[in-house]
Structure 1
Amino acid sequence: MASRSFWKGYLKLSLVTCAVTMAPATTESERVRFHTLNRKTGHRVESRYVDAITGRPVDPEDEARGYQRGEGDYVVIEDEDLAAVALDSARTIDIQTFVPKNSIGWVWYDTPHYLAPADQVGEEAFSVIREAMTASGTVGIARLVLYRRERAVLLDPRDRGIVLWTLRFGDEVREGPKPVKSREEDGKTLAMVKRLIDTRTKPWDPAMLTDPVQGNLQDLIAAKEKAGRPAAKRKKGEAPAATNVIDIMDALRKSVAAETGKKKTRP
């Protein structure tokens, strides 16, 4: 099922502009979620804001944003104040820079979104921008107010659309570990590892990313609904014994033999 757009605005490149919509590329709606209940009554528990000094509940209409500038001293910020300082990037994705497609490391990528033309009028301009990036092997960099902050975003042409990635801020990315020094390996050892990799290589399938825990939770919930009692506990698999591998070639031979045997016995 296609996701619904949650943002509408404009895609702009110099004097070329078109109306676009944006929708999340991922979802967590299928994840099993729990509510907090009152064990005695079985009723849901609600969260409410209370005054930190008086302890009394605060009505929603009395809630306000506050910026702390000192101990017990806050500046109240109204919706009108935020609107007054809104940036042009709140509704316009203005592509200012292009970079080679593979020049940005994966660690900078944050959240993906699907970008699409909002109407038939904008399809031509949208397609021209997308095809030009594809032909030049580049991705676009722009700024956009999203999730209450102005963010750098990357526009990646994919198939007949554009994927918009929010990029992480500079202070969110940590320096990676020091690279492991390369060591000269025996040609036979390298060949054995490649053979082991070959036995486990298969075409990509999204089914590889299923979450078995979610399935177990759904089975548990179904069992409790049906019988009114917890489902039988699953036996935990035995953890592999910790061993120190002394002869890597011997371990590789055994691994390849086991994997090759598995392939032969598969229907």
Structure 2
Amino acid sequence: MHTMWKGSISFGLVNIPVKLHAATEDKDIKLRTLHKDCHTPLKYEKVCPVCDREIKTEEIVKAYEYTKGKFVVLDEEELENLRKENEEKAVEIIDFVKMEQIDPIYFNRGYYMSPNEGGGKAYSLLRKALEESHKVGIAKIVIRAKEQLAVIRVYENTLVMETIHFPDEVRKAADVPNVPSEDKVTKKELDTAIMLIDQLTAEFDPEKYKDDYRAALMELIESKRTGKETVTAAEREPVSNVTDLMAALQASIDRTKPKKEPAKRKRTSAVKPKKEA
């Protein structure tokens, strides 16, 4: 399993060297965007609208827009130093709380924690202590240049770190529009709803839930593939340098060719009429 972070977790005087591994994976089916006519995958280029040209990676800088059109530019070296300064700190468990006190809306992403070299005993100690106390640890950690609030808990004999949102990242439920302030339901309606809930109540078994849309999409893709309903991207025709050179030379000749002056009209001398004798 790929290691995405190395560091240490501490509570009190106990220090645990650990590694983080992603506990979940994205199973979404990735679809490419093709040109309808030639089935060539489209490219998305970074283009400066002012300079009207594609920008190379080395020309790009990061900045914070503090007001419309005004930016504070941050050097990559400054950002890297800031990341290292925070990532190299030991992650300290700030508090221990009961899991049920944390609403699920705060949870973001889960990571498995494994002990690094020499951390096996301290890892086991924290795991056992959390199990016996029925508590979870609250800690702060910097992952991918972002400080995260996290919950450390036990899942199937393994320590898991669940990143959670900071309070100011969770929008207020009171701001949701059109939510009824009062329950205008009859007792009969409520009793019927509760009866339905009771009939559908079961033990939670995650294995029974499947991604039906993903399965149907893969079935459609496979049926088209086996039925030879496939397309091939068109290959770009090589551009002849000779043709380009000749075109450039001809354009240069046409540009430098002297312009013909309009023909001047010849003057006709007036014939004086002869005098009669």
Counterpart CA distance in 2 for 1:72 and 1:200 is 55
Task: Give runs of aligned pairs for residues 122-141 of structure 1, distance below 5 A.
Answer: 122-141=119-138
TM-score after normalising by structure 2: 0.70
How many angstroms apart in 2 are the aligned matches of 1:165 and 1:37? 38
Gaps in structure 1 of 5+ consecutive residues: 231-267
What CA distance in whole angstroms lies between the structure 1 residues aligned with 2:155 and 2:22? 15
Counterpart of 1:47 in structure 2 is: 44
AA at the equivalent of 2:205: D
Partner of 1:23: 21
| Residue number in structure 2 paired with 1:238 | none
- Which amino acid in 1 is paired with 2:12? S
The count of aligned residue pairs is: 224
Matches of 1:193 and 1:124 in 2, distance apart?
51
Q: How many Å separate the matches in 1 of 2:130 and 2:12? A: 14
Q: Secondary structure at the match of 2:223?
A: helix
2:165 is aligned, of 158, 164, 168, to 168
CA contact (8 A) 1:89 1:143 kept: no
The structural deviation recorded for 1:117 is: 0.8
What RMSD in Å do the two structures reach over aligned CA positions?
2.9
Paired residue type of 1:212: D
Give the structure 1 partner of residue 204 of structure 2.
204
Q: TM-score, normalised by structure 1?
A: 0.72
Deviation, 1:125, is: 0.6
Following the alignment from structure 1 to structure 2, what is the Cα–Cα distance between the partners of residues 37 and 184?
A: 55
Contact kept in structure 2, 1:66 and 1:76, CA below 8 Å: yes
Match of 1:222 in 2: 222
Deviation at 1:185, TM superposition (A): 4.5
CA contact (8 A) 1:110 1:166 kept: yes
Equivalent residues in 2 for 1:137-148, closer than 5 Å? 137-148=134-145
Could you tell me whether the CA contact under 8 Å between 2:6 and 2:19 is conserved in 1? Answer: yes
Deviation at 1:130, TM superposition (A): 1.8
- 1:189-211 Cα offsets, whole Å, 9 max, x none, are 85x76665554344433233211
Secondary structure of 2:129's counterpart equals helix
Deviations 1:194-246 (A, max 9, x none): 6655543444332332111111111211122122449xxxxxxxxxxxxxxxx
SS in 2 for 1:47: coil
Distance 1:194 1:66, change over 3 A: closer
Partner of 1:58: 55
| Shift, 1:155, TM fit | 0.8
CA–CA separation in structure 1 for the residues paired with 2:180 and 2:69 = 45
CA distance 1:182–1:126, change in 2 (3 Å)? farther
Aligned pairs for 1:4-15 within 5 A: 4-15=2-13
Rounded Cα–Cα distance in structure 2 between residues aligned with 1:164 and 1:154? 6
**Cα separation, 1, equivalents of 2:182 and 2:3:** 44
Alignment check: 8 A CA contact 1:87 1:145 kept: no
Amino acid at match of 2:210: T
Cα-to-partner distance string for 1:38-86 (whole Å, 9 max, x where unaligned): 2222111111211120120111122211223456543332221013334
Find the structure with the greater CA-based Rg: 2
Query: Percentage identity across aligned positions?
Result: 25
- What SS class does the counterpart of residue 2 from structure 2 fall into? coil
Match of 1:237 in 2: none
Distance (Å, rounded) in 1 between the aligned partners of 2:152 and 2:67: 41
